[in-house]
Amino acid sequence: MANTSQDFSQLNISEEEKDKLVAEVIRYVLFKTHQNSGCPIKRDELTQIVTKNYHQRLLPALVINEAIAKLSSIFGFEMRELQRSRPSSTNQQSTTDTKSYVLISQLPADVYSKHVDDVNTAHLTGFTFVVISIVHLAGGKIPEEQLWHHLRRMGLHETDESNPVLGNIKQALEMLVQQRYLQKDKVNGPEGNTLVYELAERALDGPVNDRIKEYISQIVKNEVASVEID
């Protein structure tokens, strides 16, 4: 922490100014995460909070790093960086996405479930797990029509804009793309362009991926037990 304070002083930033900037970044991250249902926050957005009134080149990185440390030590959140290379559908060259962040709770799963988890969003969590599981079982990538085929079997239709639980089903699926659980790409084929959904970095994240495998394993066990009873 002493080194951090020294870094700020070398940029002619007082302790009070530094604390104010860090607090603004933390407040923005918490608000945007809640407002946008956990969608990633671009690093550029956080940088602009700092550069609005200050022009020291190294300052944004120092402020963001301190905000990351305080979100962890005070609020119990890991502010995890997301960065991926999306292959082009035409020339297969990789282009790197802008850096962005998501908040991940550091609480144990049982504590989070008991004291933090919102029962009002449980249906969205369930939908997320179902869709990710379908894509996972398809090998991590699935054409759009095949995904909708599986969802229709569960009574979820792409034309349904007023589902009593999920609302607009198409928008619910698109939200998983925005939240970076899924990646959507156009793939050239003999029959023209096909939309393909693929697991994105949040779905491939260790803890989430482990929970998906556990969820699928439990379903298989239940199916086997049901067959044995019959």
pLDDT tens digits, one per residue of 14-23: 889 999 999 9
Cα separation of 143 and 197, whole Å?
6
Query: How many helices (H) does the chain have, and how many strands (E)?
Result: 10, 8
**Average pLDDT of the chain, as a whole number:** 83
Query: How many structural domains comprise the chain?
Result: 2
**Angle formed at CA 50 by CA 47 and CA 56, multiple of 5 degrees:** 95
| pLDDT at residue number 107 | 76
Q: Which residues contact 224 (CB under 8 A, 6 or more apart)?
A: none
Predicted TM-score of the model (pTM) = 0.75
CB 173 within 8 A of CB 223: no
2 and 105 inside one domain? yes
| pLDDT at residue number 112 | 65
28 and 2 inside one domain? yes
Residue 154 has pLDDT above 80, yes or no: yes
127 and 209 inside one domain? yes
198 and 122 inside one domain? yes
Specify if 103 maps to a domain.
yes
| Three-state SS at 206 | helix
Backbone angles phi, psi at 55, to 5 degrees: -125, 10
| Domain limits for position 142 | 118-220
List, as own/partner pairs, every contact residues 91-98 make where C-beta atoms lie below 8 angstroms and the sequence separation is at least 24, other chains included: 98/42, 98/43, 98/44
Residue 108 has pLDDT above 90, yes or no: no
DSSP per-residue string spanning 175-195: HHHHTTSEEEEEEEETTEEEE
100 and 126 inside one domain? no
168 and 140 inside one domain? yes
Percent of the chain with pLDDT over 90: 47
167 DSSP 8-state letter:
B
CATH number at residue 100: 1.10.10.1200
CATH number at residue 146: 1.10.10.1210
Specify if 229 maps to a domain.
no
